[in-house]
Structure 1
Amino acid sequence: MIKFFRKIRQRLLSESKFSKYFAYAVGEIILVVIGILIALQINNWNEKRKAKIVEANFFEDVLLDLKKDQDRLEYYELFYTKRAEYLDTLLTYLRNPQKTMGIDKFQQYVEPLYYTATPTSYSTSFESAKASGIFNDIEAKDLLKELSQYYSDFALMANNFASITRYVENKFEPIMYNFPEGNMNQNTGNLVINEENTQTFYNKIASIKDNRNIPIDYEIILKTPRMENYIIGDMGRTSNAIGKIKSRQEKLQVLIHKIEERD
């Protein structure tokens, strides 16, 4: 093809047809420019196609992480809702002297209070994409901002969970130091909500018979102002935790819907 155009140029020059040569030269330049533009367009189309694939893969991975978050938040909601119920029960017996709880029931309801939840956020896909620099190629900027805010807000829930853990360690456990654990049995941990298998632990404790015959008056602990202060403080923190969990669940549902409806 190049030889063909070269022969035409040479023939026009040898025949001194400068005007035709000029018109031909302009036409050749236009053809070259058109070829370059077509090549650039094809390259641009390929780059956009690749970016679309990267974006689709990113949101697919993030959606999987968000659904893991969804399951985790359901666990947290159950954990703290039950905690609130146990605290409510203890406060009800504490404030009603005529109601007798019994040592076994008391042991069952205080045991779950030793446990707290560890906050976990499944943000690996988002953080990996952020570190790799692909956010610049993603067109859904508003959705990226919402995801970024969602993962940043995790600290609010994590801080609340941590405050409950500190409160248990600093307030609840000292109250219970003087309470003998001789009444722990296979049923003690029935109300405990925990991801790990705690039943083996309670079975082991129950298998070791307590021969000390230590008198246990649980009401001395239950009906003291110190215990009441603790229960109310824990109820407030637990209520706060439930509120943050529900708020995060609402934001999560919106994000999942938007990602699923993208296409």
Structure 2
Amino acid sequence: MIKFFRKIRQKTLAESPPALPAGETGRAGKFGKYLLYATGEIILVVIGILIALSINTWNLDLQNAKQEKQILTQLLEEYKNNLYQLNSKIFIRDEIITSSVKLVDYSNLDTDLISSDSLNRYLSRTITRPTFDPALGVSNDLTNSRRLYLLTNPELREQISAFSSSLSELREEETIIVNWVEERFYPFLIKHYQIGRLNVEFLDDEKFREKVTQIKFKKQKSLKELFAQSDPTDLLNHPDFEDFLSLLIVNTTYTNDQSLGVKLKIENIIALIEEEIEK
């Protein structure tokens, strides 16, 4: 196309004005040739601009695609870590529920039949206060910098944009339990039981402690001998003890139900990310 108009231009410039009758007809013929030449020049310029724009768009698309791959990799790591943390919190709550049920059973047994180590271990688990604290640095950066458009999958964009706000109900339930344990249940235990051995049991319960803290600990010497074992009769026979445990079971179960809903959202986001990476 460009060569075609170049030939027209060269031919037009090389040709001598044709021998035409004097008057308007001759001038019109000459004007027509130069009009054709000018039109060709304009078309060439337009074509050049369109080609430049196409190349620029192509380069921009390549850059965006490269950025998207990097972002997807970062998001995948972020949400896999969050899923691992959430699964740990679900596990902890399951242990709280199991421990609470065991303690209800203990309240109906003779204290001579109860292992003090088991009692302290179950009690120590009931006062843990797990909360899901996801790391959302990459997601928040994309949202705050208005770069979510780099994610070409609209469903993935929507899921990531809405994820933080979807945690509100879970956080509300977690806050209720944390406040209740700290303000009601823990003071009740201190009043009716010596909690020294209870706290030591938490330190000795390494696998469970790693789930709570997300940190792997080295084996430590037990501090159990520093604290005398308290008689659990007053605690186990107290009429409010079973009520506290029933509330803990119900609230923790409901919070885990909320956690399972969040888990499904995270797993869906991970699946979408992996699908995009594999394209």
TM-score (norm 1): 0.83
Matched, 1:109 2:122: yes
Aligned pairs (5 A) from 1:119-158:
119-158=132-171
Matched, 1:21 2:34: yes
- Is the 2:130–2:174 Cα contact (8 Å) retained in structure 1? yes
Q: Which protein has the larger Cα radius of gyration, Structure 1 or Structure 2?
A: 2
SS in 1 for 2:130: coil
Aligned pairs (5 A) from 1:188-207:
189-191=203-205, 192-193=208-209, 194-195=212-213, 196=215, 197=217, 200=220, 203-204=222-223, 206-207=224-225
Matched, 1:248 2:240: no
Structure 1: runs of 5+ lacking an equivalent: none
SS in 2 for 1:177: helix
2: distance between equivalents of 1:138 and 1:79?
A: 35
Aligned pairs (5 A) from 1:1-263:
11=14, 17-95=30-108, 100-178=113-191, 179-181=193-195, 183=197, 189-191=203-205, 192-193=208-209, 194-195=212-213, 196=215, 197=217, 200=220, 203-204=222-223, 206-208=224-226, 210=228, 216-262=230-276, 263=279
Consecutive aligned runs of 4 or more in structure 1 exceeding 6 Å deviation: 4-9, 13-16
Larger fraction in helix:
2
- Is the 1:12–1:18 Cα contact (8 Å) retained in structure 2? no
Decide which moves more: 158-167 or 100-109.
100-109
Letter in 2 for 1:57: Q
Decide which moves more: 14-23 or 125-134.
14-23
Identity level (%)? 22
Letter in 1 for 2:51: I
Q: How far apart are residue 9 of structure 1 and its match?
A: 6.5
Decide which moves more: 64-73 or 219-228.
219-228
Q: How far apart are residue 96 of structure 1 and its match?
A: 5.2
Q: How far apart are residue 228 of structure 1 and its match?
A: 0.9
1: distance between equivalents of 2:16 and 2:130?
A: 88
- Is the 1:13–1:21 Cα contact (8 Å) retained in structure 2? no
Decide which moves more: 102-111 or 230-239.
102-111
2: distance between equivalents of 1:64 and 1:89?
A: 38
2: distance between equivalents of 1:39 and 1:10?
A: 28
Distance 1:53 1:144, change over 3 A: same
- Is the 2:111–2:233 Cα contact (8 Å) retained in structure 1? no
TM-score (norm 2): 0.78
Distance 1:181 1:98, change over 3 A: closer
Q: For each residue in 1:183-217, what CA deviation from the matched residue of structure 2 results, as whole angstroms up to 9, or x when unmatched?
A: 569656555433254974x823x24365xxxx943
Distance 1:198 1:97, change over 3 A: farther
Aligned residues: 256
- Is the 1:157–1:245 Cα contact (8 Å) retained in structure 2? yes
SS in 1 for 2:113: coil
- Is the 2:8–2:37 Cα contact (8 Å) retained in structure 1? no
